[in-house]
A and B are shown apart, each in its own frame.
Chain A
Amino acid sequence: MLQSEREKMMTMQQHQTAYVQRCKFTRTGATVYLGHLDLMTCFERAARRAGLPILYSQGYNPRPMMVFALPLGVGIETMCDYLDVSLDRPYDPDHFVKEMNAHLPSGLQLLTSKAIPEPKDSIMSIVTTASYRFEAKGIRKAMETAMEQETLVVEKMAKGKVKQTDIRPLLICLSQASDEDPDAVTFYAFAGSERNVRPDLILNSLCTYCGMDRALSENTRVIRTGLFSGTYPRIVPIEDVEVRPNTAGA
């Protein structure tokens, strides 16, 4: 086959109907130290080992169609994250969870899954808010102090340059529901493609503004406890967001 014919063939698009599983997952243990790309690869391989009928993107470099709601940075645990997996046929969600869990490395686990129509809005685009839990000695007091500040300016690397940025507007509030443990705190912050704050920057600001010890901040346990859509306080967990079906192309 000539190269030109080959290219023509490769770029021909066919419409494939996607049967989407919206899954909730946790990560703990060794997998906490994976970067986001490696985490995605772990899910891909588990799905391949399980022999699940995953859909692949078309074109030169077909990839399994898996979309994560929000990247998870190195060192962050999660009790509640989401991904959409596209399959080529309808699949029982409970069976899907069981198959994936039998093939994921220890530390990664699906909690639930539900079959949804192919969504009009990508799962990434509906995330607005995340909740995190920090665990470290005296962290509650430090976070309370941080919330009293007008600004929390931290240094951030952007495109190889150090940039000053104020993260205070990105913090929403401390969770009222949390108990009085002085060594743990749960809070809400903006998250997603429009406005987002990384937990490590928050911890850095606690050193600058609240006198938190650097070593203590670096050893703080960071757990993502929820991902939501909507505007605080009217926020909805991602799994409860009503899915608008994608009617284009059908």
Chain B
Amino acid sequence: MMNRPVPLTKADLMQVESPARYVGGEYNAIVKEDMLEELSRTGKTSYVRFAFCFPDIYEIGMSNLALQILYHVLNESPFVACERAFSPWLDMDKILREKNIPLYSLETKTPLCDFDILGFTLGYEMCYTNVLQMLDLGHIPFYAKDRGENDPIICCGGPVTYNIEPMADFFDIVMMGEGEEMILELSEKIREFKLSKDTDHPMTKEELLRNCDTIEGVYVPALYSFSYDKCTGAVITPVDDTVKKSITKRIISDLDHCSYPTTPVVSNLRVVHDRSYLEVFRGCIRGCRFCQAGFIYRPVREKSVEVLCEQGRLLEENTGYDEMGLLSLATSDYTKFPELAENLLSTFEGHHTSLSLPSLRLDSFSLDLMEKVQSTRKSGLTFAPEAGTQRLRDVINKNIREDDIFSALRLAFMGGWSTVKLYFMLGLPTETDEDVLGIADLAARIEKLYYDVGRETGQKMRRLEITVSTSLFIPKPFTPFQWEPQNSKEELIRKQRLLKDHIRSRNIRYAWHDFDSSVWEVVLARGDRRLAPVLLEGYQSGHFFDAWDDHFRYDDWVAILEKHGLSIEDFSREFSEEETLPWDHISVGVKKSFLLSERHKAHEETTTPSCREHCSGCGVACFGVGECFAKRNVNKEESSDAAK
């Protein structure tokens, strides 16, 4: 494959940080040569040209699994040519503007405005302004209503799109849920639209959008009107009867038979997570009440251990990475985790390939495993108790007990571990000062345990390092806490000081997360269509890369928000259980009534068992698949057998 030259001079590239971000040419990157041949011969192509856009820099985007999955799914199709584009960093942004060079794709260096469709993957709210940057640099009008028949179709997907309302006016199409099947159905519609242009009856964009509305999981914001009223809330209504009333997310029923990228694009440049990824399962059996991922990715669907071992082997062979990460929301919850881990380790034997195991629950098995996989120095142990007292852990349904933490730590300390990281959240619903001080107390008791272990075993103990890290609670859509208020900034600062003042040991370090971005994140997470002009004005006055703390200007954003007659309070307040929420027309399968009952249970300090122990009837069984669904059927059969 010949890599095509960039529309920039060497001097341009030499001026910017990491110029390799902008040149492409990676191993496993896909260029459809016959499309290029067709283009150079006839000036057009029957391929659907799809630009997969990641609204952050290359090194972050290339670490994203959704990008790798969908890039491959799309390019496997005989009529789609998918290429990648990323947000250029400020240095390159400046050069593109000054020279009026449109942002281009890495594979064929084609300007974004020349694609048929742009698909953005949105993993976090703070990247919204970078979507606007990429449209702007791609020479594409911002608002969907301002784009003409020949502009590309702009679509998006990803976890934050479940409440896309703040950005809804900028997108033609939003995909809810898992994209592997939906994105091909969408591409097929785009193909019909494209081919119709050469016939006597060219399809209009409006016809295309109405056509796309028939695809399950697809949301066409322009086909819904928006109204806001203090009493009723943010109401989204279909423009007519032909438009579906609510949009239910899509899921993949059988992950074993779903395409998975075992030949992912391998960056030439070292990226943020420089390893291959093996996705183990989707969904989470635990129902932590603050955790959006725990609800939106339901139900739990595992890949079989045979498929995983084969995919793991292929990934190692096809990428050359010396590390593979197992990916899921909670690795230890995979039912055949020991078998999988041992099998992969024996595949890697003698290859100097290590296994990265994020989100492990610590027990004697996982400690043994960590011994085996860590060919090098012992890194830290990580726990996420999230709250400082058992009472508050019950409120948030974090099923981790202090006994479990302490018995695991005892084993770990005996094995020579001396670095512990503890993650907590501040500002959780019902939190009191006692809960905040509980964090300091827990850390102090862990410190004591460490020296007790040293005394009991007579081991020479190195210096202990405990890091207590707090982030701020952000109420997210589709969680039982979606109605909860966020603490005011002043209150959060007070709690942070209180905690800081009670951590006194030199072995314990307190690291905290910046408030400002968490406060702004709640605005975007629970916002509605009134925010579109706010985001655009912010972007146009130079605010993007908001996910980068150094570039985020809270005060400026608040000023712009207020200029538009809105306030932080409008979005951080407690939402009433009666009002319509901006995302009520979307369904993730989990019923609103279930979320509400979970909220009430939280306030009663009652926990809910995991989906593996007992089905709590969240509603996601409507998909007819998943571990909990299978179990329900078994239970039903058992009870009907018993009845007989």
Contact = CB atoms under 8 A, between A and B. Distances in A.
A46 B320 CA distance: 6
Contacts of A34: 20, 268-269
A45 B320 contact: yes
A104 B194 CA distance: 37
A103 to B, nearest CB: 7
B94 to A, nearest CB: 16
B174 to A, nearest CB: 34
Nearest to A45: B320
Contacts of B371: 1
Contacts of B378: 3
B298 to A, nearest CB: 37
A182 interface: no
B3 A107 contact: yes
Given A1-B415, A33-B20, A38-B269, A49 B25 contact: no
Contact of A45 (B10, B11, B319, B377): B319
Interface in A41-69: 41-42, 44-49, 51, 56, 60-62, 64
A71 B495 CA distance: 52
Nearest to A38: B269
A48 B351 CA distance: 8
A41 B270 CA distance: 8
Nearest to B19: A33
Given A30-B3, A47-B320, A106-B1, A74 B14 contact: yes
B268 A31 contact: yes
Interface string B4-20: 00000111011100011
Contacts of A49: 27, 317-320
Interface string A142-170: 00000000000000000000000000000
Contacts of B214: none
Interface stretch (A11-19, A116-124, A185-193, A215-223): A215-223
B25 A6 contact: no
Interface string A206-250: 000000000100111100000000000000000000000000000
Contact of B2 (A31, A106, A215): A106
B353 to A, nearest CB: 8
A90 interface: no
A30 B26 CA distance: 9
Given A45-B321, A105-B268, A218 B14 contact: yes
A2 B317 contact: no
Contacts of B23: 30, 33
B196 interface: no
A3 B367 CA distance: 13
A44 B320 contact: yes
Contacts of B463: none
A30 B1 CA distance: 12
Given A33-B23, A45-B321, A6 B266 contact: no
B10 A219 contact: yes
Contacts of A221: 10
B376 interface: yes
Contacts of B505: none
B320 A30 contact: no
Nearest to B11: A218
Contacts of B269: 34, 38
B320 A48 contact: yes
B416 A103 contact: no
Contact of A51 (B9, B268, B270, B317): B317
Contacts of B460: 4
A30 B10 contact: no
A2 B459 CA distance: 9
Nearest to B22: A33
B375 interface: yes
A75 B322 CA distance: 27
Contacts of B61: none
B268 A38 contact: yes
A33 B20 CA distance: 5
Given A30-B20, A105-B26, A42 B14 contact: no
A60 B377 contact: yes
A62 B375 contact: yes
A1 B414 CA distance: 9
Contacts of B2: 106
Given A3-B415, A74-B19, A103 B320 contact: yes
Contacts of B13: 33, 75
Interface in A97-150: 103-107
A37 interface: yes
A30 B270 contact: no
A35 B270 CA distance: 10
A31 B270 CA distance: 13
Nearest to B462: A3
Interface string A165-209: 000000000000000000000000000000000000000000000
A178 B120 CA distance: 51
Contact of A219 (B11, B377, B416): B11
Counting chain B CB atoms within 10 Å of each CB, which of A2, A49, A56, A74 scores highest? A49
Counting chain A CB atoms within 10 Å of each CB, which of B3, B318, B459 scores highest? B3
Nearest to A3: B416
B99 interface: no
B364 to A, nearest CB: 14
21 contacts: A29-B3, A30-B24, A34-B20, A34-B269, A35-B20, A38-B270, A41-B270, A44-B322, A45-B320, A49-B317, A51-B317, A62-B375, A74-B14, A75-B19, A103-B320, A105-B268, A106-B25, A215-B11, A218-B14, A219-B11, A221-B10
Given A34-B269, A49-B27, A106-B2, 14 more contacts: A30-B25, A31-B20, A35-B20, A37-B270, A38-B20, A45-B321, A46-B320, A48-B321, A74-B19, A75-B19, A104-B27, A105-B25, A105-B268, A107-B3
Interface of B: 1-3, 9-11, 13-15, 19-20, 22-27, 266, 268-270, 317-322, 351-352, 371, 375-378, 415-416, 459-460
Q: Which 10 A-B pairs have the closest CB atoms?
A: A3-B416, A30-B25, A45-B320, A218-B11, A48-B320, A49-B320, A30-B23, A33-B19, A105-B27, A33-B20
